[in-house]
Amino acid sequence: MAENVLKLIGIDSYIYLTILLFSVGILGVLFRRSMIVLLMSIEIMLNAVNLLLVVFSVYHQDSAGQVFVFFSMAVAAAEVAVGLSILVSIFRNAGSIDFATLRNLKG
């Protein structure tokens, strides 16, 4: 059933979908001030790029792209864990997760 999805839809639609998804992630980074939503937006951008890697891997019929996506998922899991723990310690010290309040280094 799903053997020829790229033949039916074409790689262009997938590229446009991932561009839109990536731009939504950028919108989240710029639009919100809450750090936890910022982390979620970074995850969305990461997933857009992962999806494009899988699409190109299927397009070239090469399994290396899917292995790279697997590694980037491992890195994403580590990144989320470290980011959230940094966020918790920031919340303990500053009392909020609004990143506009973090201006101690500004002088």
Partner 1 sequence: MITVIFYILSAITLGAALLTVLSRNPIHSAIYMIVCFFSIAGHYMLLNAQFLAVVHVIVYTGSVMILLLFTLMLLNLKEKHEPHKAIISKITAVLASCLMAFVLFAAFMKAHPVIEQYKETGVDFQSVKVLGNVLFTDYLVPFEFASVLLLLAMIGVVMISKKDLKQDVD
Find the binding residues for partner 1 in span 2-21 (CB under 8 A): 2-9, 11, 13, 15-17, 19-21
Q: Enter the tokens of residue 5.
A: 């999805």
The C-alpha atoms of residue 19 and residue 89 are separated, in whole angstroms, by 34
Q: How far is the CB of 105 from partner 1 (least distance, A)?
A: 18
Q: How far is the CB of 103 from partner 1 (least distance, A)?
A: 15
Instruction: Note the Cα 9 to chain centre separation in Å.
Output: 24
Q: Which C-beta is closer to partner 1: that of 11 or that of 105?
A: 11
The C-alpha atoms of residue 9 and residue 22 are separated, in whole angstroms, by 20
Q: At what angle do helices 11-31 and 35-60 cross, to 10 degrees?
A: 170
- Interface residue with partner 1 among 42, 49, 69, 102 (CB under 8 A) is 69
94 binds partner 1 per the rule CB under 8 A: no
